[in-house]
Amino acid sequence: DQQVKQNSPSLSVQEGRISILNCDYTNSMFDYFLWYKKYPAEGPTFLISISSIKDKNEDGRFTVFLNKSAKHLSLHIVPSQPGDSAVYFCAASDLNTGNQFYFGTGTSLTVIP
Amino acid sequence: DTAVSQTPKYLVTQMGNDKSIKCEQNLGHDTMYWYKQDSKKFLKIMFSYNNKELIINETVPNRFSPKSPDKAHLNLHINSLELGDSAVYFCASSQGTGGSPLHFGNGTRLTVT
């Protein structure tokens, strides 16, 4: 049972435009969410997180939005750069059960120069 | 100075063999994990160790056994390898047991022939 889903396996965006990556979850107990970026042959690298007490968190060009009622989060990258081309994973956890994270299957982002 | 390092990067072996993957972190984290990424790119937790105690043990075959000689190391031993064990295995670490992101190694691609 996949509790975290990323329904878009791939996304292409022009350089300078906004990239929006989406993630849905089914477990209403999840209260901590993260986004990871992964290049080929490397491990996932932490990008940005958000807890359920907030609906937005921003770090430079990266902003994560959380809609708890819809059980949906999104990652916005503005402006997109060619170096952003990678696979992006979202992950979720229930802090009451420790640091056990459930991952989506990833979205491959290609930023076209 | 790699934060989370795992060896080997590639491992090709035959069915029935026993193999080990090593992981070390120099971040001073007190929790370490093993994740498996299957052919569908699904990242799923296998084990985690906190202060040398197993705190998460998902339903993985008992042919897989984590060994933690100290809090900076979490090795993965696999007995009687099967074709279905072919995957990329990621080691990760985090500080604490809730609300902190995972730091991943670069993965070990295991191929069982």
pLDDT per 10-residue tile (average), chain A, 113 residues: 90 97 96 95 94 95 97 98 97 84 94 96
- For residue range B75-98, what is the model confidence (pLDDT) as tens digits? 999 999 999 999 999 999 998 767
* Closest to A89 (Cα-Cα) out of A100, A78, A69, A73: A73
Residues of chain A contacting residue B90, judged by C-beta atoms under 8 Å apart: 43-44
Dist. CA B85–CA B101, nearest whole Å = 27
CA distance B3 to chain A (A): 11
Cα separation, A6 vs A89, in Å, equals 8
Tokens of A104: 């989506």
- Cβ within 8 Å, pair B42-A105: yes
Asked if A53 is an interface residue toward chain B (Cβ–Cβ < 8 A), one would say: no
* Alpha carbon of B83: minimum distance to chain A alpha carbons (Å): 21
Nearest to A89 among B40, B43, B106 (CB): B43
